[in-house]
Amino acid sequence: MTVLETPSVTLSERAARQISKILSREPGGTALRISVSGGGCSGFQYGFDLDTTRTPDDMVVERDGAIVLIDSVSLPYIGGAEVDFVDDLIGQSFQIHNPNATASCGCGTSFSI
């Protein structure tokens, strides 16, 4: 039997710094949960929520004080991706550089596979 592993998700230095800053203002044990759900203009959309509940099947990504949780249903859609934080003229946002996405919308919050 062959076991297929889903590649992990990584955090850029900028994303880790911003997530850590956000979590420092929250109660202990809070993490940023990234999820994927159906919807958005390209078929799937990313969700970002603060969460204090971890489940046994969550992937936990940690870097420099930042803690990110990804549930097992969302992970196959974003495995191998990098979470980044962008601060430019248009505004601030987390962006996911997803190697699984074949197309995405202009704002980067939805994608298709």
Percentage of residues of the chain with pLDDT beyond 90: 53
The arithmetic mean of pLDDT across residues 75-96, rounded, is: 88
Protein fold of 10-107: Hypothetical Protein Aq_1857; Chain: A; (2.60.300)
pLDDT of the residue at 44: 80
Contacts of 8 (CB under 8 A, 6+ apart): 59, 61, 79, 80
pLDDT tens, 2-21? 444 567 899 999 999 999 99
pTM, full prediction: 0.83
End-to-end CA distance of the chain: 27
Q: What number is the average pLDDT over the span 61-72?
A: 94
Tokens 């919050």 sit on residue = 109
pLDDT of 58 over the 80 cut: yes
d(C-alpha 108, C-alpha 79), whole Å: 17
Of the pLDDT bands very low, low, confident and very high (cuts 50, 70, 90), residue 93 is confident
Residues above pLDDT 70, as percent of the chain: 81
Q: In this structure, which amino acid lies at residue 66?
A: A
Domain range annotation of the chain: 10-107
Cβ atoms of 73 and 59 within 8 Å: the answer is no
